[in-house]
Structure 1
């Protein structure tokens, strides 16, 4: 939806110094990037309800122990189209601990597109492979041990 601010929610699933992300590609910028899992908050839905629903829909997994860590306002251009979103960021855990042993988690977007989420170290993100939304890496750095 052009010229509208979208409300989004993302979950940081952590495994040591790594987080679970989906790697994608901006065809106009010709650049790969990573983003944690989550999605849009629907009207009448809280951010936690949206996050539980999104993880269920994308990974067929249950999320527990949600803790809000921040909110980011993200102005961006994706595939040549400007976007504006308010993103609520949560830490969360998988109810099924065996998911942390998997190198990749297969998922499906709401449009039916399949993806493989992967565990990546915070140090792996750079200008060449950014972590979005903007400001997320800075939000995570103080919590890094």
Structure 2
């Protein structure tokens, strides 16, 4: 949830497969009435490293363990969602699933707090061609 005046610190994981697809969470902005896609992960808690947060969030959301975790960089994102301004610092990691069953699934439904969400494999070229929206847009440089 966005809280006014708060800067959120998040850890997000990029997981790609051998078919040039990336595993992302699908979202919808009701104010803009548009779908978007974002890397999975979540908030870093006080006293927790961003890598530990990444592992915890993937396990909490889809019961997935991660391996081959490599830090790629950091992004700052200032955006509008549902009519409210947001500000995030994003620690970006490249990683793989431990359990190869996740590479066979087309999508996974999960709950994030009270919201039902879907994570799925999406062809990277769809973002590069502008067919789908990836947020933040600067995330494309890591794909």
* Matched length: 139
1:45 to 41, 45, 48: 48
Once structures 1 and 2 are overlaid, which stretch shifts more, 97-106 or 53-62?
97-106
Contact kept? 1:57, 1:108, Cα under 8 Å = no
Question: What corresponds to 1:66 in structure 2?
Answer: 69
Structure 2 residue 14 is the aligned partner of structure 1 residue 12: yes
- Separation in structure 1 between the aligned mates of residue 118 and residue 29 of structure 2, nearest angstrom: 17
Unaligned runs of 5+ in 1: 141-145
Which residue in 2 is equivalent to 1:25? 28
Q: CA deviation at 1:68?
A: 0.8
CA–CA distance in structure 2, aligned partners of residues 127 and 85 of structure 1:
23
**Cα distance between partner residues in 2 of 1:114 and 1:103:** 17
C-alpha displacement at 1:69, in angstroms? 1.1
Structure 2: runs of 5+ lacking an equivalent: none
> 2:106 and 2:7 mapped to 1: Cα distance?
34
Cα pair 1:31 1:129 within 8 Å, conserved: no
> Which runs of structure 1 show a deviation greater than 6 angstroms over 4 or more consecutive aligned residues?
none
TM-score, normalization by structure 1:
0.90
User: Structure 2 CA distance, aligned partners of 1:106 and 1:15?
Assistant: 19
Displacement after TM superposition at 1:99 (Å): 1.1
Q: How does 1:1-145 map to 2 (within 5 A)?
A: 1-16=3-18, 17-109=20-112, 111-125=113-127, 127=130, 129-140=132-143
Q: How many Å separate the matches in 2 of 1:101 and 1:50?
A: 25
Secondary structure of the structure 1 residue equivalent to 2:16: strand
Distance (Å, rounded) in 1 between the aligned partners of 2:108 and 2:117: 8
TM-score (normalizing by structure 2) = 0.91
- For the residues of structure 2 that align with 1:128 and 1:78, how far apart are their CA atoms? 20
Q: CA deviation at 1:34?
A: 0.2
CA RMSD of the aligned region, Å? 1.3
